[in-house]
Structure 1
């Protein structure tokens, strides 16, 4: 699904293409490729994308080998990277909200299961077959989930490690039969665009609070590329919209088509993102 991938340049010149990076996650690919389309088609830039490990992105932004990254989960998920590099990068703001947690289908009665603490009820545990459907065993969300089981004394449950794909398959099967299921989850994710799911409240904060997905740029980027920086500061995507794009991309295996469909049907978003940027110069005077 990756589009327009190029290696990151090691030096900056004013006439070079903008250098953006992303990770191999659906939301990162979609958000970054959509930004590329806007920057090229609406704002007259050339853009090169780099698929890079997260740590390499932070380092490359701090050393000015990249211009911007659109996948900084703050303040918790990427706190270690942020603490290391925050003084050598600029934060251009939040693009969309993110969250980690446990979810249930919306048909599970909220008066029976509203919070993680409600899972302790033995009758509730039986309906969930004593299982919390997990993802890859090494994922940070799985480590947090193990801690959550201990914090809430969920002795009747086991955390079932599998994969992100296996988790969505289990969710699909359960929903088709209206079975009860509780699963590890995160937003944005395409499954929220396909099914009606709700997060269980986490009064102890074991799984972390709400996150913001930020755009970070190298120092001096706003001065060198005023128009691009203004666009990235105004580039905000409603979570429901993003998850709709992700769901369409998943169903069709065509992320580029899903992006184009969204942009074609939401011209007001393009105006919102670019109106003030178009009044600014491409490059520094």
Structure 2
């Protein structure tokens, strides 16, 4: 009797092991881990992908908010499955050089991005060169308001300070949200301010802002946002891979989600609203998955 019980137990354990093996081979029972940086633009895109994965493909999604370096590192080492937040060819070039051979680039999901130093249009300056003016520097308290340390735009701005001889300026490290708060405060009081800016971003829709000309091209030209996935994702989660490969939208699409979030909606609510209002576009993304 004891031997029979042991045999039954071993059989049950074997069945469980086989089922577990089958489960791990399919994406349906796995959690998709999406890494992203806390930029308004990347919050918008990543939550839209999350909403589509959950509502259309019945997947479970774990969101991993990290800085730019750990985002690339996480996808490269497999601790994250994917990201839709790689700004190329310039902003995240150093990270791509470091980790590019260990991840798969699915190409751009958005065209027409830009980074640089931005100011309110009421400021009578047009170029980064103008920041050399001592009187202007004084009114700006010799500071440029930045975002998270390690972000590509922060590294580019450090280079810009050197290239334009702006050693008297301090680049303030903060966060995307804190930078916008400082900008809004100055804007409402019609005070001068210089911030690290990028588009798409809802602040350009809500405030009259302009980029300072960059004659030395430190920030480069127009960029794209790329989707990056870990190696092996295509085999492990083919449906997820197909969706990520098809995901693409416009700056106007992204701005809709960002404006809703800035207006008080949660990222989940804004993403759900956008997906509901763009059914044809979303269905085109998942068409390849259903083939």
TM-score of the pair, normalised by structure 2: 0.73
Q: 1:254 aligns with which of 256, 266, 271?
A: 266
Residue 86 of structure 2, aligned match among 72, 82, 95? 72
Secondary structure at the aligned position of 1:133 is classed as: strand
Aligned in 2, Cα 1:33/1:147: closer, same or farther, shift over 3 Å?
closer
1:105 paired to 2:120: yes
In structure 2, relative to structure 1, the CA distance for the partners of 1:275 and 1:128 (3 Å cut) is farther
Partner SS state of residue 91, structure 2: coil
Q: Cα–Cα, structure 1 residues 226 and 151, in superposed 2: closer, same or farther, change >3 Å?
A: same
Aligned twin of 1:203 = 215
Give the equivalent residue in structure 1 for 2:169.
Answer: 158
Query: SS at the partner of 2:263?
Result: helix
CA deviation after TM superposition for structure 1 residue 101, in Å: 1.3
1:49 is paired with a residue whose SS is: strand
Cα separation, 1, equivalents of 2:184 and 2:275: 29
In the TM superposition, what whole-angstrom CA distance separates every residue of 1:149-194 from its partner, at most 9, and x where no partner exists? 3422457x63362634443233223322434432222334342332
CA distance in 1, matches of 2:101, 2:282: 31
The number of residue pairs the alignment matches comes to 263
Aligned pairs (5 A) from 1:99-248 = 99-108=114-123, 113-120=125-132, 125=136, 129=140, 131-135=142-146, 138-140=149-151, 141-142=153-154, 144-154=156-166, 158-159=169-170, 161=172, 163-164=174-175, 165-248=177-260
Partner of 2:44: 30
Contact 1:131 1:182 in 2 (8 A): no
Alpha-carbon distance in structure 1 between the residues aligned to 2:101 and 2:251: 29
Return the alpha-carbon distance in structure 2 between the equivalents of residues 33 and 22 of structure 1: 11
Please identify which structure carries the higher helix content.
2
Assess, with a 3 A threshold, how the Cα gap between structure 1 residues 114 and 57 changes in structure 2: closer, same or farther.
closer
Q: Quick check: 2:25–2:236 contact (8 Å CA) kept in 1?
A: no
CA deviation string 1:84-108 (max 9, x = no partner):
3323322111223544311122344
Distance 1:147 1:49, change over 3 A: same
Match of 1:3 in 2: none
CA distance in 2, matches of 1:113, 1:186: 18
Q: Measured at CA, do residues 194 and 223 of structure 1 come closer, stay the same or move farther in structure 2, by a change above 3 Å?
A: same
| TM-score, normalisation: structure 1 | 0.74
Residues 13 and 59 of structure 1, relative CA distance in 2, 3 Å threshold: farther
Q: CA shift at 1:227, angstroms?
A: 3.9
Contact 2:103 2:231 in 1 (8 A): yes
Runs of 4+ in 1 over 6 A off after TM superposition: none
For residue 127 of structure 1, report the CA deviation from its aligned partner.
9.6
Greater C-alpha radius of gyration = 2
Report the Cα offset of residue 252 of structure 1: 0.8
State the superposition RMSD in angstroms: 3.4
Per the alignment, residue 286 of structure 2 pairs with 274
How far has the Cα of 1:195 moved from its partner? 1.6
- For the 8 Å contact 1:128–1:182, the answer to whether it is kept is no
